[in-house]
Amino acid sequence: MHNAHGSGQPWRRLAAAACSALAIGTALLAPAAASAAPPAALPEQKTALLFGAAIRYYDIGSGPVLVLVHGLGSSAKGDWGQVMLPLAQNHRVLALDQLGFGNSDKPQIDYGIQTWVDFLGEFLRQNQVSDFTLVGESLGGWISAQYTIQALRGIAAGPSLGLPKPARLVLSDSAGLHATMKRLFAPPPPGKPATVGASLAGEKQLLASVFHSPSYQTDQALRDGLAWSLAKGDAWAIRAVRNPALLDETVDDKLGAIKIPTLVIWGEHDNLLPLQDGRYFASKIGGAELKIIAGSGHAPMIETPDAFLSALQPFLR
């Protein structure tokens, strides 16, 4: 993961878009990732073959299982690179690059939330995971909420395709509420300039919308972001999330089906998914707890990883 000061692995979390709707939707679901310090070295990724596609993932540590689900345009390392090793001190951490992103295969298909739910289910079945905490961020939160709803309701495409049921759920700055998705996927109103696409200006606009601290908007961060967006090759999957059909997969009216311990974590200054969305998730999921991360924008596990861990770890004990 590249940090804002120019060291480490590529950190790009947002692919700049060719039009306003794509740019805004991408910004919403997956912030550009920058870290205040380069993370410690992670082990090599493993490979799972799911439905014929190669899915790369991390499998670190031992103990109770945590499954980490990243957001749009990112990867396991991009989202979770600063927190995986601390979490792995007391847990087995499984973090996959979702289909279409990171080092996993990137087929040109019609992606939907159900696509990623199905792949997550197959991944867990293949790894024989049956007792775990599911942690999703942004688009990954949407996927995790939808997965949990279907798993707890026993929804499956076939008798051997049941979704392993999570024991606990964590949603961090989660997408998936209808009104917010509709607003962010809408084209700009007449007369309003479209978001600049794959350009330094586009990077600047997106970084400013994602991170609260101005330290994530340096010239080097803009260079790194544009270079990564040109190199990572996930534009097809990102474009697919513009599909209005995804609005049919929002979770507002189904959150009551989540009847497991749930923690909602939200950056106080999230300019992409407002804090009111976090309050909504917490109010509609019975017994859910909301923890607000002061001084953080849309991606607290990146911008304020220590505070993120302080919010998460007591819930895991």
pLDDT digits (tens, 9 = 90+) for 139-152: 999 999 999 999 99
- Sequence ranges of the domains in the chain: 46-194+237-316
233: CB partners within 8 A, 6+ apart: 106
pLDDT digits (tens, 9 = 90+) for 83-94: 999 999 999 999
Q: Which two tokens stand for residue 181?
A: 């998705």
Strands (E), the chain: 46-50, 53-60, 65-69, 92-96, 132-137, 168-172, 262-267, 289-293
Indicate if the pLDDT at residue 167 is higher than 60. Answer: yes
116 C-beta neighbours (distance < 10 Å), count: 26
Give me the amino acid identity at 221. Answer: A
pLDDT digits (tens, 9 = 90+) for 88-112: 999 999 999 999 999 999 999 999 9
Q: What is the CATH number of domain 46-194+237-316?
A: 3.40.50.1820
Nearest Cα residue to 174 out of 149, 154, 153: 149
Q: Does the pTM exceed 0.85?
A: yes
For residues 285-294, give the mean pLDDT.
Answer: 98
315: CB partners within 8 A, 6+ apart: 168, 170, 261, 263, 289
Give percent of the chain above pLDDT 90: 68
